[in-house]
Structure 1
Amino acid sequence: MKNRHPLLDSQVELEISGKSAPIRGKLIEIGQDILVMHNGTQFLYVPLIHMQQLRISTNDREMIEVPEMPFEPYNEPVSYRKMLMNAKGMFSEIYITGNQSVHGYLTTVMNDFFVFYSPVYHTVIISLQHLKYLIPYNPNATPYTLTPEQFPLKPSPLTLSRTFDQQLRKLIGEFVVLDLGENPNKIGVLKNVGQSMIELANANGNSVFLHFDHVKTVHIP
């Protein structure tokens, strides 16, 4: 029998990569590569690779009443990949980088990336190692209260490869946006992918090189 984590079922504070303020809530479950928290209104699925600190909360708030988990029963072990597979087709919020979350639907899970369809960004390819958390919404909720006619869940227009590296190579020559366009030098024509480097031609036509491991998302506007 696996050891029970000492903070399980406790009110905790979680610091994750890229977030200045900690996430607070009840620690519901913790697996080998993911943990689950409930913040009083939502479940948050957080890959452990981005956990910087986990500690007992200093707030003396009353205990949170936690509803049934959206994916798996409490006695089923949680895992990152299982969570992604269960979240397919469910309206979700994801946080990757910067100051904003992305709302939409997870459509496809590949070896080391997944595809997310958003009303704002449309088809976004996201590296598995850079998802900070996922929040599944109520089954009846839709992004921005859009109707299915206004925002149909469409299959990706891209031909998908098995790996993130192969997928980027397939986009050579395309005008792409990396990391949701948080930096103007991450927007441009993808010129080359090789030797752990990605070459973009920016708005001025100058070459910008980025290390492959730091590219979190890519989409075609």
Structure 2
Amino acid sequence: MKNRHPLLDQYIEIEVSGKTAHIRGKLIDWGQDILVLHNGLQFLYVPLIHLQQMRLATQDYQEIIVPELPFEHQNEPISYRKMLMNAKGMFSELYITGNQSIHGYLTSVMNDFFVFYSPVYHTVVVSLHHLKYLIPYSPNVTPYTLTPEQFPLKPSPMTLARTFDQQLRKLTGEFVILDLGENPNKIGVLKSIDQNMVELSTAGGNPVFLHFDHVKTVHLP
């Protein structure tokens, strides 16, 4: 049975970690660790770990015609992991950090991270703890209107580990980009991971240390 939230089928506003603007829409579904809303154009899947506030919308909304849900059946309980598994191979948009969204295809789901293939960033490893929301697109939409020949869905070139920690350790000695390169101090050679501290050597050769728990994504240029 589904969890029945008191705001289900109501128009709501939510605040999500790391995003300054409120997200508004109709609350479509509520699971143990994820919610689904429809903003009139798209479904947004929001992990509850990043939900800071949720309240009834303060303005009147025209009634939204909600299409059929993209993956789950109406009577089945939804979960974060189940949503990710269902989204594999479907063109989607992810919001993770800063003002950037990335577009592409989810290809693999591991213990605490997933792999996303993007025409811009190529293979991106994303921590499950840092996805703010996922928007699936309709089946006839492709990234940047690229044809399958222009953007073939390729398997990940890297060997995948079971955990995000192990995956980063496998990249020791590689030139990596953390958190989509939003900060130049998060671009460099991965020197080591020791006691939850990640050491990078930046462009000038200076060591920079970051706490592992705050590493959201990693990809190779």
Question: How far apart are 1:3 and its partner, in Å?
Answer: 5.3
Cα pair distance change 1:3/1:41, threshold 3 Å? closer
Matching residue's letter, 1:59? Q
SS of equivalent to 1:139: coil
CA deviation map 1:21-68 (0-9, x unaligned)? 110000001111000000001000000000000000011011111010
Matching residue's letter, 1:7? L
CA distance in 1, matches of 2:120, 2:99: 15
Question: How far apart are 1:170 and its partner, in Å?
Answer: 0.2
CA distance in 2, matches of 1:73, 1:3: 14
Q: Which residue of 1 aligns with 2:81?
A: 81
Percentage of identical aligned residues: 79
Q: Which residue of 1 aligns with 2:18?
A: 18
Normalising by the residue count of structure 1, what TM-score does the alignment of the two structures yield? 0.99
CA distance in 1, matches of 2:138, 2:65: 17
> Any residues of structure 2 matched to 1:22-101 within 5 Å, and which?
22-101=22-101
Matching residue's letter, 1:100? Q
Q: Detail structure 1 runs of 4+ shifted over 4 Å in the superposition.
A: none
Question: How far apart are 1:204 and its partner, in Å?
Answer: 0.6
Normalising by the residue count of structure 2, what TM-score does the alignment of the two structures yield? 0.99
Q: Which runs of 5+ in 2 are unaligned?
A: none
Root mean square deviation, CA, Å = 0.8
CA distance in 2, matches of 1:141, 1:2: 30
Question: How far apart are 1:154 and its partner, in Å?
Answer: 0.1
SS of equivalent to 1:96: strand
SS of equivalent to 1:150: coil
Question: How far apart are 1:91 and its partner, in Å?
Answer: 0.2
Q: Which residue of 1 aligns with 2:186?
A: 186
What is the aligned residue count?
Answer: 221
Matching residue's letter, 1:123? T
> Any residues of structure 2 matched to 1:1-221 within 5 Å, and which?
4-221=4-221
In 1, are the aligned partners of 2:127 and 2:216 still within 8 Å (CA)? yes
Cα pair distance change 1:96/1:3, threshold 3 Å? closer
Q: Which runs of 5+ in 1 are unaligned?
A: none
Matching residue's letter, 1:10? Q
Question: How far apart are 1:194 and its partner, in Å?
Answer: 1.5
CA deviation map 1:90-127 (0-9, x unaligned)? 00000000111000000000000000000000000000
